[in-house]
A and B are shown apart, each in its own frame.
Chain A
Amino acid sequence: MNDLHHLTIHESHTLLKEKKFSSVELTRAVLKYLESIDGKIRACMRITAEQAMASAAAADKAIAEGRCSPLTGVPAIIKDNMCTRGITTTCGSKMLENFVPPYNAHVIEKLNSVNAVMVGKANMDEFAMGSSTENSAFFTTHNPWKLDCVPGGSSGGSAAAVAADACIYALGSDTGGSIRQPAGFCGVVGLKPTYGRVSRYGLVAFASSLDQIGPLAKDVTDAALIMNVISGHDKRDSTTVPLEVPDYTRALKTDIKGLKVGVPREYLVEGMQPAVRKAIETAAKKLAELGALVEWNVSLPNTRYGLAAYYILAPSEASANLARYDGVKYGYSYRETTSMWESMEKTKQFGFGAEVKRRIMLGTYALSAGYYDAYYLKAQKVRTLIKRDFDRAFEKYDVLVTPTSPTVAFQIGEKSDDPLQMYLSDICTLPINIAGVPAISIPAGFADGLPVGMQFIGKHFGEETLLRAAFAYEQATPWHKQKPSLA
Chain B
Amino acid sequence: MKLTDEEVRHIALLARLGISDAEVEKFRNQLSNILENFDILSQADTEGLPPTAQSIALENIYRPDEAGPSLPVDDVLANAPDCEENCFKVNAVLE
Contacts and interface: CB of A to CB of B under 8 A. Distances in A.
Interface of A: 98-100, 102-103, 194-196, 209, 235, 238-239, 241, 302, 304-305, 307-309, 311-312, 319, 323, 326-333, 335, 337-346, 348-350, 352, 357-358, 360-362, 364-365, 368, 375, 377-385, 387, 419-420, 434-437, 460
Given A361-B8, A381-B51, A312 B19 contact: no
A82 to B, nearest CB: 16
Nearest to B79: A330
Given A196-B58, A365-B31, A420-B33, A382 B79 contact: no
Contacts of A345: 16-18
B11 interface: yes
A357 B63 contact: no
Contacts of B7: 365
B90 interface: yes
Given A238-B61, A311-B34, A340-B90, A349 B52 contact: no
10 contacts: A238-B63, A241-B58, A308-B38, A328-B90, A381-B46, A381-B52, A382-B41, A383-B52, A434-B55, A460-B56
Given A238-B63, A312-B41, 5 more contacts: A102-B79, A349-B18, A349-B20, A361-B27, A380-B52
A357 B50 CA distance: 30
A307 B38 CA distance: 8
B41 A308 contact: yes
B49 interface: yes
Contact of A103 (B12, B41, B71): B71
Contacts of B18: 342, 345-346, 348-350
A329 B8 CA distance: 28
B67 interface: no
B34 to A, nearest CB: 6
A349 B44 CA distance: 36
Main secondary structure of the interface of A (DSSP, over half): helix
B17 A333 contact: no
A332 B80 CA distance: 9
Contacts of A235: 63
Interface string B67-92: 00001100110111110000010111
Given A329-B88, A358-B31, A385 B44 contact: yes
B72 to A, nearest CB: 8
Nearest to A236: B63
A362 B82 CA distance: 31
Interface string B12-32: 101111111001000100110
A471 to B, nearest CB: 25
Contacts of B52: 380-381, 383-384, 387
- Of the listed residues B8, B16, B42, B80, the one surrounded by the most CB atoms of chain A closer than 10 A to its CB is B16
A35 to B, nearest CB: 28
Given A308-B37, A333-B82, A340-B93, A209 B11 contact: no
B14 A241 contact: no
B55 A435 contact: yes
Contact of A357 (B17, B38, B49, B91): B17
B15 A364 contact: yes
B30 A102 contact: no
